Structures are given as C-alpha cells and as structure tokens.
Amino acid sequence: MNRKTQAGIAGMTVGGVWLLANLRHFQEQGFVAIGMPLILLVLGGIYLARGRKE
C-alpha cells in the first residue's frame, strides 16, 4: 500500500468521524459545522482513488 492510499484512508476516516460528530450542530451552525470535515472526506476519497491507480 503506497503513501497516497494510506493518506486517503486516514483522511476518509478522520473526515467521516468528524462529520458524524458535527452533524448534531448542523441545526445551529448550518454548513459551517460540516464544511471542513466534508472537504477532508472528499479529498481522502480522491487520494484513495489516485493511490490505487499508481
């Protein structure tokens, strides 16, 4: 497993856990609460996909 794949898995894990933790604040803060975790989740998926191609 190369470094991009490992970074993708870590990013998706951290982003997913952070997103689930912040969903309870969505009513008060809106997309501010889930913006950064969502970005991490998406970038982790991109890194995972690119890491598997190499």
Q: Does the pLDDT at position 1 exceed 80?
A: no
**Are 48 and 2 in contact, with CB atoms under 8 Å apart?**
no
Mean pLDDT (the chain) is: 88
| DSSP summary character for residue 52 | H
For the stretch 10-24, pLDDT in tens is 999 999 999 999 888
- For residue range 23-49, what is the model confidence (pLDDT) as tens digits? 888 788 888 888 899 999 999 999 999
Rounded-to-integer distance, Cα 54 and Cα 43, Å: 17
pTM above 0.85, yes or no: no
